[in-house]
Structure formats: structure tokens, C-alpha cells
Structure 1
Amino acid sequence: MDYFRKATNTSPTVMMDSKTKSVLISGSSLCRDITIYASVINDMIEQFERFDYKDLNIKLDVFNTMAAKSLIDLLKYFKFNRKAPSIHWYFDKKDQEMQEMANDYSELLEMEFEISDN
């Protein structure tokens, strides 16, 4: 494992593994401190610079506006600075709002996402 950040009550698990070439962001993201998000995004970008990850798996149950901005910043990094990994966005089939968010992000950033229910 290249990078691991354990989930808390307000932040998701982040796992980056160069052996499997995959990244997972999973859980709830409700932290109100933007500096924490900035730190995690910077850590992730540093790892993306070091290793060639092929898959970014997003499995968020819920996230707030600060997390939304941070996620967009990460995705913009792929769009403008390097080849993007395949982006897989998973949502609970009962959560249409999360599915709509995935579609909105894909359209806004003009990036292809694989969007599916768990």
C-alpha cells in the first residue's frame, strides 16, 4: 500500500496501491476543515506523480460542499495535468442523488466515468 488514510467520523478511507494500480475513496466525507482536504488531495497528487494508477474508485455515501470542491480539484488535476485513470463511481441504488452527482461531475468536467450501483 502506497498511501492509506483511515476513515473517521467525518472523512473517508483513502487507499492507493501501486501493486493493483488502484485508488479507493470510500465512506462519508463531511469534514468542515478545508485544510484537511487540501492536505489529502496534495498527498494523493504526490502519489499519482510517483505511480501509474489505472483505476480511481469513488464509493462515497455522502459528502459536503468542501469535499465536493476537493473532489473536483482532484479530477481537474487529471483533466489538465496528466492522463486520467479510469474513474469508477459507485452509488447505493437507493441514492439517486449520488448517481446524479456522478453524472453532473462527468458532464461538467467532460470526463468519462463508469457509473454503477453497488
Structure 2
Amino acid sequence: MNIFIGTVKKYCLFSGRASRKEFWIFFLVYFLGGVILSTIDFFLAWNGLLRTIWEVSLFLPFLGVAIRRLHDINRKGWWVLVPFYNLYLFSLDGEQEENSFGSIPVL
């Protein structure tokens, strides 16, 4: 959970690098939180209010960690605009030495 909170605190950080671990933990909590809130919305007949708040509030942190993850594999952040191919890119190992986007991430 500390990794998730740390990533949220870096919500407008689009430079630097993010490890696979940081990205996938954030993505898992983001996804599962959305599923849980959708279920609550369904039973309370709130028409997706909680999930919408969750998605909107975490959009920038998700975009930031996705761009930093792309930087870790030495790709420009614009690749985040290409759907589905990103899932493959996010699963690749990061560069094992400093690259043009910064030093190796700690996580």
C-alpha cells in the first residue's frame, strides 16, 4: 500500500522512471478499487458515482506512473497514447543502466 500511496503523491511527476513493481502494484490497486466501488455502486443504485470519483481522482497518478514506466524501458511518454501495445511495453524489463530519462528506479 505504501507503493500505491507514494505513486499517488507523485501524481504530476512525468519525468524520471518507474519500476515494473511500482507500476503493477499501482495498476492492481487502481483496478481492484474500481471493481469494489462498482459493486458498491450497483448495490446502492448510485449509477457509478463512487467509481467515477475514483477514476477521475486517480487519472493523473495513473498517467504519471505509466509515462515513467515507459521511460524505464527507454521509450518516450507519447507511447501511452497507443492502446493495448502498452500492456506489452509495461511488462518489459527496464534498462539496467542509467538512460536518457534518469537513473535506475529504486523499487
Place the TM-score, normalised by the shorter chain, in its bin.
0.3 to 0.5
Higher Rg of the two aligned structures: 2
TM-score (norm: length of structure 1): 0.31
More strand by share: 1
Relative contact order higher in (CA < 8 Å, ≥ 6 apart): 2
TM-score (norm: length of structure 2): 0.33
